[in-house]
Amino acid sequence: MSQRISLTRFLIEEQHLGHISADLRQLIAIVARACTSIAITVSKGALGGALGDAGTGNIQGEVQKKLDVLSNEILLEANAWGGHLAACASEEMDHCQPVPDIYPRGNFLLLFDPLDGSSNIDVNVSVGTIFSVLRCPEGINAATDEHFLQPGRRQVAAGYCIYGPSTMFALTIGHGTHAFTLDREQGLFVLTQRDIRIPEDTREFAINMSNHRHWETPMQQYVDDLLAGREGPRGQDFNMRWIASMVADVHRILTRGGIFIYPWDKKDPSKPGKLRLMYEANPMGMLVEQAGGAAYNGRERILDIQPDQLHQRVPVFLGSKNEVAAAVRYHTQAD
């Protein structure tokens, strides 16, 4: 086997190339180590006492799983004392949480979905952790929610950890997208996919079809044409996959291409989609773009969206760039 490059070595080499600062390197290393702790708990399943509901709810209006709460705590504790961070924001917390006063503060803002795909935990299907890193605005020591409201193109790093048959850590720091596989014996991530490239075309789509009757007309038309296959306007047959853990669906797309869609639906018109911009769509959007893919809300680039609230939702179309362009055309032509 060719020389193994650990995540630690990869990050130090990226720092020597001037792609990241020592503080950002430390932040990413700490997040990866926290994900290793989460991976150990997830893999214990029923034996770890961490399955089932926590008996609490979150700002999303969702019932929290024990692992949602535990993963959130693991990430907060890991990032509190290092001095690299000003504040954290999480799907599981109403507001951002500045680093405690007893610790030094740094120049980065960390956002995360500590446990993505929660509905899959109790049925032993892959779940994950998603994270995004922004710069804290100059001169701000006590960051508040408003300081997080930056468009996704301002992210300095983004990634996820997928807790699947193997545990993998996907990362971009703005110079490509790379994947690392956890060596459990040594407790370290090893580079296994450098410079991932998403095929520009695909014949595989990922969507929750049960919402079909609630979609906008162009969305229904786009999917109906996929289903019409070879005899239809697309002239070829398509396959469908839907894992209902965004991390797992996106990991498949980074690995072999595809288009992932969670569109707007009229089930709850007050919500412009199910997925959250700041800690799901933005980090996944950066990872996918850095791998040669595209990420749109149906009409505009996700990373250009100016957020106006921390937990705002957004429709998501991401993956193989030519297929995302095709789906966007159905919407822009309908407009």
Binding site for Mn ion (CB under 5 A): 91, 113, 115-116
CA 90 to each of CA 31, 105, 163: distance values in angstroms, whole numbers, following the listed order: 13, 18, 19
Extract long-range pairs of 98-106: CB within 8 Å, 24+ residues apart.
Answer: 98/142, 98/143, 105/141, 106/23, 106/27, 106/82, 106/136
Residues contacting residue 77 through CB under 8 Å, at least 6 positions apart: none
243: three-class secondary structure by DSSP: coil
Classify residue 31 by its DSSP letter.
H
Burial 173-192 (b: 16+ CB within 10 A, else e): beeebbbbebeeeeebbbbe
Residue 239 partner contact from ligand AHG, Mn ion, none using kind-dependent CB cut-offs of 5 to 8 Å: none
Under rule CB under 6 A, residue 56 binds ligand AHG: no
Closer to ligand AHG by CB, 240 or 244: give it: 244
CA 154 to each of CA 54, 106, 148, 176, 193: distance values in angstroms, whole numbers, following the listed order: 34, 17, 10, 16, 25
Q: Which residues in 259-298 contact ligand AHG (CB under 6 A)?
A: 262, 274
Q: How far is the CB of 4 from Mn ion (least distance, A)?
A: 31
- How far is it, in rounded angstroms, from Cα 176 to Cα 33? 22
Under rule CB under 6 A, residue 143 binds ligand AHG: no
- Interacting residue with ligand AHG among 118, 202, 282, 320 (CB under 6 A): 118
Under rule CB under 6 A, residue 119 binds ligand AHG: yes
- Residue 306 CA neighbour count, 13 Å, CB half: 0
Under rule CB under 6 A, residue 258 binds ligand AHG: no
Options 22-30, 112-120, 185-193, 221-229: segment touching ligand AHG (CB under 6 A): 112-120
Under rule CB under 6 A, residue 178 binds ligand AHG: no
| Number of C-beta neighbours around residue 317 at 10 A | 26
- Interacting residue with ligand AHG among 144, 208, 217, 332 (CB under 6 A): 208
Helices (H), the chain: 7-16, 22-44, 66-78, 145-148, 217-228, 246-256, 282-290, 321-334
Under rule CB under 6 A, residue 58 binds ligand AHG: no
335: three-class secondary structure by DSSP: coil
Options 82-90, 117-125, 231-239, 307-315: segment touching ligand AHG (CB under 6 A): 117-125
Residue 98 partner contact from Mn ion, ligand AHG, none using kind-dependent CB cut-offs of 5 to 8 Å: none
Residues in the interface with ligand AHG (CB under 6 A) total 12
Q: How far is the CB of 34 from ligand AHG (least distance, A)?
A: 16
Q: How far is the CB of 12 from Mn ion (least distance, A)?
A: 31
Q: Which residues in 236-255 contact ligand AHG (CB under 6 A)?
A: 244-246
- How far is it, in rounded angstroms, from Cα 243 to Cα 250? 10
Under rule CB under 6 A, residue 147 binds ligand AHG: no
Residue 208 partner contact from ligand AHG, Mn ion, none using kind-dependent CB cut-offs of 5 to 8 Å: ligand AHG
Give the residues lining the site for ligand AHG (CB under 6 A). Answer: 91, 113, 116-119, 208, 244-246, 262, 274
